[in-house]
Amino acid sequence: MARVEFFAYNNEVWYSENGAAARKLSDTSDIIADLFKVIEEQYPDAMKALRETYSEAADNIRYHQYLIVRRFLKCNFSNIDDKFDIDEERLVFEYVPCPLRGECRLEGLVCKPRFSSSLSSAELRVLELLYKGVPKVLIAEKLYLSQYTVENHIKHAYKKLDVHSEAEFFKYAEAHNLFPKTR
């Protein structure tokens, strides 16, 4: 997928790939299928909520996928700014002010959704403490693990996430909303 910036204008979603002229998102846009797959694979709770929300359009597959992708984009990427919302194959979430903040039933599911991965629950516990700034020695103590086990969980998780350093992990965790109520 290219580097893409999304924004909302007149209640429609627009996008620009690699700085090219902006185009209005429609059910025939090539980008829909790729984004639908990303949402389905990486944000299954958001996908489930959106499928239910737009269930009446389920018979028209192309339009159904468009509605799901459009809502996901509106809730997470509708500000125009100088940062790409898809950069290096990663979604870069932004804060989107919403008049329904605090009362929308999809808040926390679709807006700033929780990333789902193949990480084990043990790896996630270790990574969350690391993300909170807890030193590895204290992570081991807190979770009743050896330091070797903590290092192993981190090493295996980094491999699954395709990150190679703590700095890359922090960037990845922020971009994918891995620990939404942390920090």
Q: Model confidence over 13-44: pLDDT tens digits?
A: 999 998 899 999 999 999 999 999 889 878 88
Does 75 share its domain with 35?
yes
pTM metric for this prediction: 0.68
Assigned token pair, 75: 């809730």
Whether 103 maps to a domain, the answer reads no
Whether 163 maps to a domain, the answer reads yes
Residues of the chain with pLDDT > 70: what percent?
Answer: 96
Domain span including residue 160: 121-175
End of a domain among 37, 71, 91? 91
Whether 111 maps to a domain, the answer reads no
Assigned token pair, 151: 């290092």
Does 19 share its domain with 73?
yes
